[in-house]
Amino acid sequence: MTAVGEEMHALVERLYPLCRSITGDGVRTTLDIVGEYLPLQVHEVPSGTQVLDWTVPQEWNIRDAYIADATGRRVVDFAESSLHVLGYSVPVAATMPLAELRAHLHTLPDHPTWVPYRTSYYKPEWGFCLAQETLDALPEGDYEVRIDSTLADGHLTYAEHVIPGQVPDEVIVSCHTCHPSLANDNLAGIAVATFLARALAQETPYYTYRFIYAPGTIGAITWLARNAERIDQVKHGLVLACAGDRGRLTYKQSRRGDAEIDRVLRHVLAASERPHHIVEFTPYGYDERQYCSPGFDLGVGSLSRTPYAGYPEYHTSADNPDFVSPEAMADTLAVCREAFAVLDRNRRYLNLSPYGEPQLGRRGLYDALGGRSDTKQAQLAMLWVLNLSDGEHSLLDVAERSGLPFDTVAVAAGALGAAGLIKA
């Protein structure tokens, strides 16, 4: 996992300089890079397309932007950081006094060395983001202002990667691709999702896993609109965001609160004894709020470390590759793998010999446990599985009620199934 953590961090560093938004070439380049790690099906949805209650906006691209003083020196330069321009800024080429320019400048007075992240997706506007200390150092006078951008009909771009399972029922894993140079809020989630997909591809999962790389809000809404007829296939889901900071893990439950993915994450995090928070669903945050909107009400939760807006660096230039750690991303990935291992094996069984306790010894089941350090625990797991295999209780129910590890319960179920005592 240490090596995988380093690889994920290298991917974050590579993606970090790109200027992403809800549309545009920055998203395409990001998906091209992710496509080097796993095959992607890329979708282009034309501007003006109606998607549920929304409309796909015009596509935004930017080539250059700066503020230059009277000597021609660039005091704010998009080439140094994609955060320096208000996202979706309309083009501008003008000279104006600082007093007039101030209305278009965004800073963080409480953190004078940081540059904020700001956008104006659905209202024509232009602006620059800069450090407060930079603004404070600007003398009065005229400044050349230029934003070389285009806002025109084009496409919204999103991508999918599908890992076929034994059944067509799906687990979706969703991450957002719309933020510019923000390492934790955006890129860490992309990296963890990518390496999670690579890990699952080496297995033969029970469920079909669909990874969705899409811009926040409008991207998830577009995906839902284009998949509404087959949405019943989605049985579980997880949104990944803020996946790389050093804070404790946070799982935000689905709107249902008792969806299977909620129970699995609660169980895995508690059993692992990792420091963590479990929080209730709120209709604010990342794209779990789209998947959990009442018309769809999917069992989709959200896994992060420190949640959105929960750390000072959130949506600022301080959310850089140094802010995320390989170890934290590796830990987030490990929890995802543990959770999906439980989800994939969580079945309901029926006891085929329900009248009295079947004789396990003559079937060689006790002998099969010989030499195990947890022999008594494994024997107890068999008895619990037999007792609760009434077609109503799942293996997760057995683990929770018995207090036994899920893996022990799953192994017991496998042994009992092989002996013909239970069936799925």
Phi, psi of 135 (to 5 degrees): -60, -45
* pLDDT range class, residue 375, cuts 50, 70, 90: confident
**Per-residue pLDDT reduced to its tens digit, 188-217:** 999 999 999 999 999 999 999 999 999 999
Q: How far apart are CA 167 and CA 113, in angstroms?
A: 52
* Cβ–Cβ under 8 Å, residues 161 and 41: yes
User: 59-152 — its CATH code?
Assistant: 3.50.30.90
Listed range (7-16, 108-117, 350-359) with the worst mean pLDDT: 350-359
Q: 348-423 has which fold?
A: Arc Repressor Mutant, subunit A (1.10.10)
Q: How far apart are CA 211 and CA 194, in angstroms?
A: 8
Domain boundaries, the chain: 2-56+155-344, 59-152, 348-423
Q: Does 372 have pLDDT greater than 80?
A: no
Please tell me which residue, 371 or 156, carries the higher pLDDT value: 156
* pLDDT reported for residue 364: 84
* Cβ–Cβ under 8 Å, residues 215 and 23: yes
Mean pLDDT, the chain, rounded, equals: 96
* pLDDT reported for residue 344: 96
* Cβ–Cβ under 8 Å, residues 396 and 406: yes
Q: How far apart are CA 316 and CA 83, in angstroms?
A: 8
**Per-residue pLDDT reduced to its tens digit, 117-171:** 999 999 999 999 999 999 999 999 999 999 999 999 999 999 999 999 999 999 9
**Per-residue pLDDT reduced to its tens digit, 282-322:** 999 999 999 999 999 999 999 999 999 999 999 999 999 99
Cα-based angle 173, 259, 238 (whole degrees, multiple of 5): 15
* pLDDT range class, residue 363, cuts 50, 70, 90: confident
**Per-residue pLDDT reduced to its tens digit, 26-82:** 999 999 999 999 999 999 999 999 999 999 999 999 999 999 999 999 999 999 999
Strands 348-351 and 422-423: antiparallel
Domains 2-56+155-344 and 59-152 share a fold: no
Say which CATH class 2-56+155-344 falls into: alpha beta
In terms of pTM, does the model score above 0.85? yes
Residue 191, SS3 per DSSP: helix
